[in-house]
């Protein structure tokens, strides 16, 4: 049986490597919908889940919308973000912990940025308020759950393409300085995005390019060379071997 989400994600990465961004948006959408229907082995999409595996479906919708924006398919980006807001709002009735619902509010704000649907600044302010009200214990643990990692993934993917494929946004960028103040520690995610995400998105849209997400990387791998830029720095993602610098499929070096 084909794993639709995995198959579609691989197809999205292939489309990014080929600079076919509207097709990438289609494949990310397909992956998102498959993930939302079946988020993880043994996890029903409408049952509480401390891990928040369903967040990857929300992340894929956001990334699909970014790909559509880069492809100048703005109406389709808006449709995907309207869809994302609706799903995130509905999941507020599923995920039990207030800190998870704050993360859903963070997703809503991201969709408002990417799809130009509503006021993102007000939405990020709502997320900040929700994080501070939740005041969750063990904020570092929550921040490493799949839900929270998914909420950080799209802005990281957008940013790395503007920084030569490097890790442009770090854990320290996204989170507060003191986990002993859990509300402020997690609220910093929304504050950082409010300041940076709109301009980062505008840059990739203006450039007309979107990097693949960062997977497993290796610098100066003598076995591979990028036919586009000549780099030997490798990014393995979705079972593909791409240039870490420009997301072009790598070629085996001849010795």
Query: What's 16's domain CATH number?
Result: 1.25.40
- State mean pLDDT over 158-178: 95
C-alpha–C-alpha distance, residues 70 and 24, integer Å? 10
159: which residues sit within 8 A by CB, 6+ positions away?
Answer: 168, 169, 196, 200
C-alpha–C-alpha distance, residues 219 and 43, integer Å? 37
pLDDT at 7: 96
Whether residue 161 is found in the same domain as residue 249: no
Whether residue 181 is found in the same domain as residue 220: no
Q: Which of 177, 194, 211 is the last residue of a domain?
A: 211
Digit-coded pLDDT (tens) for 24-81 = 999 999 999 999 999 999 999 999 999 999 999 999 999 999 999 999 999 999 999 9
Whether residue 52 is found in the same domain as residue 129: yes
Whether residue 16 is found in the same domain as residue 67: yes
The total number of structural domains in the chain stands at 2
DSSP H or E run through 196 = helix 182-207
- State mean pLDDT over 132-152: 96
58: which residues sit within 8 A by CB, 6+ positions away?
Answer: 32, 36, 84, 87, 88, 91, 104, 107, 150, 151
Alpha carbon separation from 252 to 19, 121, 225, 228, 241 (Å, rounded): 21, 46, 6, 13, 10
Mean residue pLDDT of the chain comes to 96
Whether residue 59 is found in the same domain as residue 14: yes
Whether residue 162 is found in the same domain as residue 91: yes
C-alpha–C-alpha distance, residues 243 and 44, integer Å? 37
The SS3 of residue 51 is coil
Whether residue 132 is found in the same domain as residue 238: no
Contact predicate 159/199, CB 8 Å: no
Instruction: Return the exposure string of 133-164: e unless at least 16 CB atoms fall within 10 Å of the residue's CB, then b.
Output: ebbbeebeebbebbbbebbbbbbbbbbbbbee
Q: How confident is the model at residue 21 (pLDDT cuts 50, 70, 90)?
A: very high
Whether residue 34 is found in the same domain as residue 151: yes
Whether residue 26 is found in the same domain as residue 140: yes
Whether residue 89 is found in the same domain as residue 27: yes
Whether residue 51 is found in the same domain as residue 147: yes
- Whether residue 2 is predicted with pLDDT greater than 50 in this model: the reply is no
Whether residue 201 is found in the same domain as residue 223: no
Containing structural domain, residue 240: 215-255
Q: What angle do CA 185, 151, 143 make, to 5 degrees?
A: 40
- Whether residue 255 is predicted with pLDDT greater than 60 in this model: the reply is no
- Whether residue 176 is predicted with pLDDT greater than 50 in this model: the reply is yes
Residue with tokens 């980006």: 77
Q: Is the dihedral of CA 158, 159, 162, 164 positive or negative?
A: negative
- State mean pLDDT over 188-198: 98
Q: What is the DSSP letter of 238?
A: T
C-alpha–C-alpha distance, residues 216 and 54, integer Å? 23
- State mean pLDDT over 84-91: 98
- Whether residue 1 is predicted with pLDDT greater than 70 in this model: the reply is no
DSSP H or E run through 225 = strand 224-225
Q: What is the DSSP letter of 213?
A: P
CB atoms within 10 A of CB 231: 21
Contact predicate 209/19, CB 8 Å: yes
Q: What is the DSSP letter of 240?
A: E
């Amino acid at each position: 049986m084909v794993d639709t989400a995995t198959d579609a994600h691989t197809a999205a990465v292939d489309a990014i490597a080929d600079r076919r961004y509207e097709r990438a948006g289609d494949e990310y959408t397909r992956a998102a919908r498959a993930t939302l229907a079946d988020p993880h082995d043994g996890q029903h999409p409408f049952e509480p889940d401390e891990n928040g595996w369903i967040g990857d479906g929300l992340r894929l919708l956001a990334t699909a919308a970014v790909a559509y924006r880069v492809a100048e398919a703005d109406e389709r980006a808006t449709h995907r973000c309207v869809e994302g807001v609706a799903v995130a709002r509905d999941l507020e009735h599923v995920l039990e912990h207030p800190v998870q619902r704050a993360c859903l509010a963070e997703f809503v704000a991201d969709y408002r940025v990417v799809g130009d649907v509503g006021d993102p600044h007000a939405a990020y302010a709502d997320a900040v308020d929700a994080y501070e009200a939740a005041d969750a214990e063990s904020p570092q643990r929550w921040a490493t759950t799949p839900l929270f990692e998914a909420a950080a993934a799209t802005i990281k993917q957008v940013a790395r393409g503007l920084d030569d494929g490097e890790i442009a946004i770090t854990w320290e960028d996204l989170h507060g300085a003191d986990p002993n103040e859990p509300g402020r520690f997690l609220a910093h995610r929304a504050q950082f995005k409010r300041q940076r995400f709109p301009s980062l998105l505008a840059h990739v849209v203006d450039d007309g390019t979107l990097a693949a997400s960062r997977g497993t990387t290796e610098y100066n791998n003598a076995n591979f060379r990028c036919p586009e830029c000549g780099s030997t720095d490798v990014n393995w993602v979705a079972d593909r071997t791409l240039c870490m610098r420009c997301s072009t499929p790598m070629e085996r070096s001849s010795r």
